[in-house]
Each structure stands twice: as structure tokens, then as C-alpha cells.
Amino acid sequence: MQGMSERFGNFLIASLELFAAAFLMILGAIILWIVVAYILDVTQTRHAIRRNYPVIGRFRYFFEHLGEFFRQYFFAMDREELPFNRAQRSWVYRAAKDINNTVAFGSTRDLRKAGTVVFVNCPFPTLGEDAVPPRPVTIGPGCRSPYTTASLFNISGMSYGAISKPAVLALSSGANKAGCWTNTGEGGLSSYHLDGGCDIVFQIGTAKNGVRDLDGNLNDDKIREISAHPQVKMFEIKLSQGAKPGKGGMLPGAKVTEEIAKIRGIRVGENAFSPNRHPDVRNNTDLLDMIERVRNAGGKPTGFKTVVGSPAVLDELFSEIVERGADSAPDFITIDGAEGGTGAAPMPLIDAVGLPLRESLPILVDKLTEYGLRERVKVIASGKLINPEDIAWALCMGADFVTSARGFMFALGCIQALQCNKNTCPTGITTHDERLQRGLYPPDKAERVAAYVRNMINEVGVIAHACGVRSPSELNRAHARVIQESGLSIGLDQLHPVPPLRPGIDKKTG
């Protein structure tokens, strides 16, 4: 017994000695780091804080970085943050998880703030048994393969490469379960888009990835090859997007793997440039010619995506369409607001270029009406629309469909960590780090995507029924009002009255 006590005592002494030695080594390393950091800080000239407050000044950057993650949880109020506040995100999270989305005690939204949209409730709302689902809409009825869908809420363009493989798989499968479409983004059509079995809108970006030859020229055979997939329902020519109108991009050659090269139709290992516009689209004539070329080659509805900078641009385009004939018109126009998102863009473009959707959507709808093209050209609204009131507003304003990218990123689990432009997305959505991608399990996230769409349509329907109509498709400008600077509201139908046809325009043009 005494021998065991001695052995235990020796073991304890040895452990304490080892712990003390380890502690001294760690303490020595910390002291060495402090000394080295002190010398580096006081001798460098780039950072005033570190030069004036050596070592301690380094923690400023550490806490600034942590602030991105903790601000939204501990310091910001429900309605304070940008680009999306906690209330907006929380609704999406709950909708995607298919859990109770009711709230208590009253709204945290300031209903007196100028620009706030409120809906006009009816004294005799629509009963549940009288409600009907959204009506089917046909896009491109004159095409060889028109597209008819009743899906009001769809997934906006997110390229494979900008988002990860599991994210694309989850979105495509979720879209199939929900009966909505997904947009490929400008990175081309991957097998992961097809695997989910959903309807697909193929986006043709300025680099023409997936429908180009190796020199970057549009290739009709490639268009026919893409169109041969039954899941590909439409082609969208991207002129610009909300967060970076007039800005191209580059995919570094190191990221151009054999898989990416095959999908995009580019050379392996070479830098892949996306020009800031289509080099072969210099004016409206070129744009309409390209639309007609893609539509003829693919046989499917073809439109374009743009950010409006001035109403005059639409006047010029629609005047030319009227002159050429309504058959030359795009089958749809996707209008993106300046508040749209992206993985990476210069701050001046994100902050200060392009019209917000609240202004540009009514401009587009009204210009189409003025030129007799409203029935011919369908309107898809995009730009920071992630909650039911956003979608209801867009439908009131005249949109036929709404698309969202960031809303679906939240449905996948995005926490707005603002790491999209890096390879460090903690939720695995915008990273190609396989360790981080492991956190995104496509089968589970697909269910969340589908639940998000279902709950969105259900709650937009709740708004519509409160307004006294049977379906979200029946919402119009008389069903919403906007708070003015005076604190009083004005109806959308008064703020944006439907314009008459322009003189000389035939009502049958569209």
C-alpha cells in the first residue's frame, strides 16, 4: 500500500513538473511573440494604431473581425442591420424550417417611416374556401417551346463556382420539390443544376459561358445543345445586375479546373474574363438581334436581365421594338434593383449606381404599358425581395414573377457573415473548402428550400386574402399604400397611375 502511495506521489510530482515545463514553454512563446510583435509594430510605418500602441493595437483588427459575427446577435436591434435585419432573416429561417412564424405583442416595424408599404385590408376578406392558387402564366407563346408556370417565387442567378456544389444540389432539388425554377447564373449549366430535376433558366452572361466557342463568341450549336435539355425552359441574357451594373469580372486560372472549363467552354488553367458588357451588343438593335438569334436557335423563351439607370433607355428600346414589330420583343425582362446582391463588387457600384427596385419596377411596367407591350413582355422582379410583404408589393406593382438569391441563401443557412468574397463562408454556401462544405447537407437543405417557397406563397396569399382578392395573382396597385414624409399614406394607384397608350401606338401591338 505504501509502495502504491509512493508511486502515485512520484507520478503526481512528474505530472506537475511536466505541466510546469509546458506552462513555461507556452509562457516563453507568448513573451517571445510579444517582444517580436512589439519590435515589428514600433518599426513599421503603415499602421498608425499599431505604431502608437504596439501589440495592444493588433487587437483592434481582431475585435473588428469578430464584430461581423457577433454584432447581429448581441448589439443590433431587430430592424437595424443592413443589408438584411434580424427580423427579415428570422422570418426566412422559420419559414425554411417550416416552424411557427407568428409573433407576439405587436410589430417592431416603424409604420410611420416614409417609404413603408402597407396593404389595404378589405372589410370582407376572402374566405379560405374561396381562395384559388396563383394563375399559370405563359412566357413566349410564339416560341417553339413556350414556358407555362404558376410559380410566383423563384431562385435567382447563382453560378456554380460562386456557390458550392452542395449549395447548387440543394437549390435544384428544393426547387423541384417546390415547383419553382432556378437560374444557373452566368457560370453555365452544371450537372448539379440538372440533378435536382427542377425547371431551369439558363443565363447567358457577358462571357457567354456554356454557349461560346473558345474565343468567346456565341455559338448556336451550343445553344441548341443546352436547349435540348427538357429542364431548360428559358434563356436570360444578362446585361447587368443590381450590385455591380457595368462591371465584369475574372475567374483566376488556378480555379479553372477541368470541370469548370468543360461547363463554361473555356481553356483549363487560363484566366477567364467576363467583360463589363457583351462585346457584340453595342446598342438596342444588337440586343434585339441577339434575343432573336438565341430564341431561334434554342426555340425557347428568351429575355434579358438589366438594371435601369434612366427611363429614357426604355423609351429608346421600346420605340425600336414597336418599329420592328412585337415579335422582336424579349419574352420577358428581369429587372434588378440597385439593392441587389453579389459575392464581390466595388463599393461605389454597390452603393451608388443604378435605380432601386422601388423606382425601377413601376417605371418598367408603365413603359411597357405606354408602348402596348405589357401583355407581350412578362416582368420578373429581383432585388432584396425575401419576405412576403416584399413579394406582395412587387405583384401589386405589376410584376408577373419574383426571383431571389439571398433569400434562398438564408434558407440554406446563410448567417450573413459577409464572407462571400472569400473562401471562408462558415455555412459552406459560397466556399470551395471541402471542410466547410461538409456542413451543408443537400437533402436536408433541399427540404428547407421547398418549405421556404411554400410558406412564402402561403403568406403572400394571406396578404391577398386580407385585401379581398382570391389569389396573389389578382393583387394590383389599389391594394397597397406608401407612407409619405408627412406620416400619411398614399395609394400606389395614385402614386403610380397606369399611363395611357402613347399617341400612335396600336393597342394590339403586344
Residue after which a domain boundary falls, among 28, 56, 84: 56
Residues 271 and 379 in one domain: yes
Domain that holds residue 354: 148-460
Q: What cell does 259 get?
A: 470541370
In this predicted model, what pLDDT tens digit does every residue of 67-77 receive, in sequence order? 655 555 555 55
Q: How confident is residue 177, by pLDDT bands cut at 50, 70 and 90?
A: very high
Q: Which of 77-86, 184-193, 243-252, 471-480 has the highest mean pLDDT?
A: 471-480
- Considering the domain architecture, whether residues 191 and 314 belong to the same structural domain is answered as yes
241 has pLDDT over 80: no
What is the mean pLDDT of the segment spanning 176-200?
94
From the number of C-beta atoms within 10 Å of its C-beta (0-12, 13-18, 19+), residue 354 rates as buried
The domain that contains 244 carries what CATH number?
A: 3.20.20.70
Query: Which cell is 428 given?
Result: 459552406
pLDDT at residue 394, rounded to an integer: 96
Is 449 within the bounds of a domain?
A: yes
Q: If you average pLDDT over every residue of the chain, what do you get? A: 85
Asked whether residue 408 is domain-assigned, the answer is yes
Same structural domain for residues 153 and 25?
no
pLDDT in the model for residue 252: 66
347-373 average pLDDT score: 86
- pLDDT on residue 375: 94
209 occurs within a structural domain: yes
Q: Does residue 406 lie within any of the structural domains?
A: yes
Residue 118 in grid coordinates: 402597407
Per-residue pLDDT tens digits for 480-496: 999 999 989 999 999 99
Q: Spell out a b/e string for 136-160, using b for 16 or more CB atoms within 10 Å of the CB, else e.
A: ebebbeebeebbebebbbbbbbbbb
**Domain check: are 46 and 180 in the same one?**
no
Q: What is the pLDDT of residues 400-410, one digit of tens each?
A: 999 998 889 88
Neighbour-count burial of 394, counting CB atoms closer than 10 A to its CB (0-12 exposed, 13-18 middle, 19+ buried): buried
The answer to the question of residue 205 being in a domain is yes
At 365, which amino acid appears?
V
Q: Are residues 314 and 432 in the same domain?
A: yes
pTM as predicted: 0.83
Q: How far, in Å, CA of 116 to CA of 49, rounded?
A: 42
Q: How many structural domains is the chain composed of?
A: 2
- 200 and 336, same domain (yes or no): yes
What is the structure's pLDDT at 22? 84
Q: Kindly report, residue by residue over 112-126, the tens digit of the pLDDT.
A: 888 889 999 999 999
475 vs 500: CA distance, rounded Å: 20
Q: Is the pLDDT of residue 510 over 50?
A: no
Q: Is 62 within the bounds of a domain?
A: no
- Give yes or no for residue 293 having a pLDDT over 50: yes
